[in-house]
């Protein structure tokens, strides 16, 4: 085949990828959060002293949904760039950072490991920076779409650190969430 793909064919390739990547990434994020019992309603998390940076809990669901959609679109842009030299490396970097992202929630909320979650999110920060750098080489717009995600996880890194500072005794602590009966 010696002809280049038409712009319509390129758009169709992107749309096909986006129909898989966007709902897939949103679904994976939702499953990770649900399985880990993230956010309010988690007895251990509810018992933590909340840092001053901590936004209202409903913000997290909205922000993560938007970020996962942007990530899915950016990933679809890269995957649809057939023949791009950096495409494979960019896809692997994206999947690696996504795995780190999805692992953070159970480490923090289910295992109550604030220090381990902080280490994990710092590695995630670096992986996202690498992913953005590689995306820029394939599709610059895809790199731009990842910048709000980078900003949010850098904020989340600062928040994770503040949770550790405010709650050093809670790192690794197990809380059952069961009611406690006290007799007088």
3-state secondary structure 110-138: HCCCHHHHHHHHHHHHHHHHHHHHHHHHH
pLDDT digits (tens, 9 = 90+) for 18-52: 999 999 999 999 999 988 888 778 999 999 999 99
Return phi, psi of residue 49, to 5°.
Answer: -75, 125
Residue with tokens 């319509």: 8
pLDDT class of 1 with cuts at 50, 70, 90: very low
pTM above 0.75? yes
Q: What domains does the chain contain, in order, with CATH numbers? A: 9-170 (1.20.1260.100)
- Angstrom distance (rounded) from CA 60 to CA 98: 17
Between residues 39 and 82, which one has the greater pLDDT?
Answer: 82
DSSP 51: P
């Amino acid at each position: 085949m010696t002809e280049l793909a038409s712009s319509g064919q390129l758009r169709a390739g992107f749309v096909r990828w986006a129909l898989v990547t966007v709902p897939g990434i949103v679904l994976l994020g939702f499953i990770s959060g649900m399985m880990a019992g993230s956010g309010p309603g988690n007895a251990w998390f509810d018992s933590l002293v909340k840092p001053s940076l901590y936004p209202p809990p409903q913000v997290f669901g909205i922000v993560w949904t938007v970020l996962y959609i942007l990530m899915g679109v950016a990933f679809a842009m890269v995957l649809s760039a057939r023949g791009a030299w950096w495409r494979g490396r960019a896809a692997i970097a994206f999947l690696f950072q996504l795995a780190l992202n999805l692992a953070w929630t159970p480490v923090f909320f289910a295992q109550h490991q604030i220090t381990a979650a902080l280490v994990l999110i710092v590695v995630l920060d670096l992986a996202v920076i690498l992913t953005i750098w590689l995306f820029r080489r394939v599709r610059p717009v895809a790199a731009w779409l990842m910048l709000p995600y980078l900003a949010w996880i850098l904020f989340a890194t600062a928040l994770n650190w503040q949770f550790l500072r405010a709650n050093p005794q809670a790192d690794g602590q197990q809380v059952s969430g069961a009611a406690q009966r006290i007799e007088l």
